[in-house]
Structures are given as C-alpha cells and as structure tokens.
Amino acid sequence: MKVVVTGGAGFIGSNFIRYMLAHYPQDEVINVDALTYAGNPENLADVESHPAYRFVKADIADRTAIEPLFAEGVDAVVNLAAESHVDRSIMQPDLFVRTNVLGTQTLLELSRQYGVRKFVQVSTDEVYGTLGDTGLFTEHTPLRPNSPYSASKAGADLLVRAYYETYGLPVNITRCSNNYGPYQFPEKLIPLMIHNALQDKPLPVYGDGLNVRDWLYVEDHCRALDLVLRQGRDGEVYNIGGHNERNNLQVVRTILAELNKPESLIRFVADRPGHDRRYAIDASKIRKELGWTPQYDYESGIRATIRWYRDHTEWMERVISGDYRQYMAKQYGDR
C-alpha cells in the first residue's frame, strides 16, 4: 500500500509515521508537510533513511504542488496536516480556514480524481463543542464547535462527509480526545508546563484550572488510526478516547510533583475566550467494531512523558527558537 500521510512532521503525524514504518515495512509512506512552525523534520530523524519513507515539502492547500504525487498513484491518504492550536486560531482564524478547510478540500478533490481507495480525516472531539459535568461525546453528538480551530475542523469534516455522499469517495473521520506523548510542540498544555517548570518560570493556568480534558497516549491514537485505515467501514465516524478525564490543575500538579518543583509556580491567568469546559469521549464504537483498546495507563504514561521532555531539553531548545518567543510574548505577555 502507498500511503500519503499529511502533517507527518508534527506531533501525532511523526508518531504515526514511526508506527507505520515499524509495523508495515512493506508499505510506502509519503510524508507531505509544509513545515510550518509546528513541523519539525527532526521528529523523524531516526527513520528518514528508511527505504519505505519519503518526505515531500508541500502545502496541502496548493493543488499544483501536490497533484504530481497523486498522479503517481496513491492508495490511501491520512490527513493530519492542520493548524492545531486553539489559542493561535483566536489570533489568526483565516489561516485555520485556509489550511484546515481549503487544504482538506484540495486533498479530497485530488483523491476523488485519482481514485484513492481510502481517505482518513484525522479530526477532533472539539467539533462537538463542550460538555457539562456529565455525559460523553458519541458519534451522534451534534457538531457545535466554539473556537475558530474547532469550527475549521468541523468544516473539514462536513466536506469529507459530502465527498462520501456525493462522489462515493471511501472516507472515514476519526475524532480523538487530547493526546500526550513525545514530540508535542511546547505551546500545548503538557509540554509548555514541563518547559516552564524546568526553567522555574510561572505556569499559566487559564481561568479556574478546572476545565477537563480526556487524555490519551499518542501511540494509542496511532494504533486506532491504523485500524481505521485498514478496517474502517466506508463513510463511518469513529470516536477515540481512553476515559482519562483530568482537570488542568490535576495535570499541572502531576508535572510539578514529577519534576520536584513547588506549586507556587502556578499562576492563574485570564481565561481563553470561548474556553470549552469539559471533553469526554465514548469510544465504544471503535472498541466493538475494530477491537481497539488503549494500551497505556494514564498515570504511568504521563510520568514517562514528563521524563522524556526532561531528558530531551536539547530538542525543546531547538524547537523553541523560530517564531516561538514572539508567539509566547503575544499570548502570555510578560507573565
């Protein structure tokens, strides 16, 4: 099988490509990535000379740049390329529409024209909006996105659905909860807090810190994506999540404890506008239909992840050169 993986230089994409090459060395994997601030070829340094791996630097919204790849013949597309950070979407929503909506539509159109046999759209639980204190998101929960990021991902999901209904393109949509693990860009909660704690800098907690996320180790997400790619029923949506609900303060306190840093580093700062209160996933469909089960326990997985960042400070330092400092100043000011 020849698989185009978009966004493969990012957090989940690089973990997914490593997973694919380890489990299916006979398949060909082509990583299409524009290398935005979030794309880092170093995330795949250990596999870049693998004979089944190829990297193509291209923007998924640039049809001229990516059409030659489809013209070569492609069996499947796994679309992970996206602008992925909610706070950045509040600063620059147009970029999110361009990449997440137009980029996905460009890939769908080329997939239709060149007869791709499976298109997997890697979406997010955020398209469902927010939950109150109880309940879980199922695949039938209405889409009620609250941020420009989640609205752009929901827009993409609707186009994916339309390409299935209108043109019969064999598609799947996956909607996963928050991932944690190695190679995550340090604008996201867990690596940001680890980075700040290691430097004895304040840890900026939005609002009251009681917003809840449902955490999943990235490799468990990758295994689910692989199952959907190979066995997903065409046209179906699959939720992915591991029932690991934690509020942000709990996550931050675990990080401080693991790094032997004081809780006095915690700073409550202004809340994120439109901040979703709680996410929690009902993943019974993918468990029953495809036999997926998460293999990583949250308490040991999060501690191993904290230690990974502590032991890879040189990776962190290289990542945060670039536009990181400018973004952090805009987002957090001098705090």
Return the number of the residue (103 or 204) whose C-beta is nearest ligand DAU: 204
Q: What CA–CA distance (Å, rounded) separates 27 from 47?
A: 14
Looking at 15, 36, 177, 239, which residue binds ligand DAU (CB under 6 A)? 177
Closest distance of CB 99 from ligand NAD, Å: 4
Looking at 89, 106, 130, 178, which residue binds ligand NAD (CB under 6 A)? 178
Q: What CA–CA distance (Å, rounded) separates 159 from 165?
A: 10
Closest distance of CB 101 from ligand NAD, Å: 11
Is 151 a residue that touches ligand NAD (CB under 6 A)?
no
Helical pair 189-198 and 298-311, crossing angle rounded to 10 deg: 50
**Ramachandran assignment for 274, one of left (phi > 0), alpha (psi -120 to 50 degrees), beta (any other):** left
Tell me phi and psi for residue 174, to 5 degrees: -110, 145
| Residue 125 known to be catalytic | yes
Q: Would you state the torsion angle of the CA atoms of residues 273, 278, 284, 290, taken in this order, to the nearest 10 degrees?
A: 40
Closest distance of CB 161 from ligand NAD, Å: 16
Closest distance of CB 195 from ligand NAD, Å: 15
Q: What CA–CA distance (Å, rounded) separates 168 from 162?
A: 9
Of 80, 206, 224, give the one whose Cα is nearest residue 147. 206
Is 245 a residue that touches ligand DAU (CB under 6 A)?
no
Partners of residue 210 on adjacent β-strands: none
Is 301 a residue that touches ligand NAD (CB under 6 A)?
no
| Residue whose CB is nearest to ligand NAD in the complex, by number | 10
Partners of residue 185 on adjacent β-strands: none
Sort 287 into a burial class: Cβ within 10 Å, 0-12 / 13-18 / 19+.
Answer: middle
Q: Would you state the torsion angle of the CA atoms of residues 32, 34, 36, 40, taken in this order, to the nearest 10 degrees?
A: 40
Is 206 a residue that touches ligand DAU (CB under 6 A)?
yes
> Which of 33, 59, 83, 126 is labelled catalytic?
126
Looking at 3, 5, 13, 104, which residue binds ligand NAD (CB under 6 A)? 13
Is 278 a residue that touches ligand DAU (CB under 6 A)?
no
| Residue 72 known to be catalytic | no
Is 108 a residue that touches ligand NAD (CB under 6 A)?
no
Closest distance of CB 84 from ligand DAU, Å: 4
The answer to whether the beta carbons of residues 167 and 230 sit under 8 Å apart is no
Return the number of the residue (36 or 53) whose C-beta is nearest ligand DAU: 36
DSSP 61-120: T-HHHHHHHHHT--SEEEE--S---HHHHHH-HHHHIIIIIIIHHHHHHHHHHTT-SEEE
Interacting span for ligand NAD (CB under 6 A) from 27-35, 106-114, 228-236, 322-330: 27-35
| Residue 27 known to be catalytic | no
Return the number of the residue (20 or 82) whose C-beta is nearest ligand NAD: 82
Chain residues that interact with ligand DAU, rule: CB under 6 A: 84-86, 124-126, 177-178, 188-189, 192, 204-206, 211, 213, 248, 272, 279
Would you tell me which residues interact with ligand NAD (CB under 6 A)? 6-7, 9-13, 33-36, 38-39, 59-61, 80-84, 99, 103, 122, 124, 153, 176, 178-179, 185
